[in-house]
Amino acid sequence: MMYLKIKSHTEPFTNNLLYNTNNGVVFDLLQLLTLNGPAWTWINAFQVSRDGCNAWNSLINFYEGDSTKTRNKQECYDAIAKASY
């Protein structure tokens, strides 16, 4: 699965005002899409700062991180073990 890695605050950016505005817009969209759902837990930490970049990266780390890959791998092994011919 492909996804976009958003630039972090540590990377140089040519227009800070534009970045901060768009960063807030990204957060607002993520908030709208995740409010009252299980993903809201990962977005909520960035609500005060409206940090869309870190909110997005937090979601990516949760949904496509090592623990998810391990869990999916184990589910596949369990399915193979239960399969019969």
pLDDT truncated to tens, each residue of the chain (85 aa)?
Answer: 444 555 555 555 556 777 778 888 999 999 999 988 889 999 999 999 999 999 999 999 888 888 778 888 888 999 899 988 7
What six digits make up the tokens of 24? 């807030």
Structural tokens at position 11: 């990377």
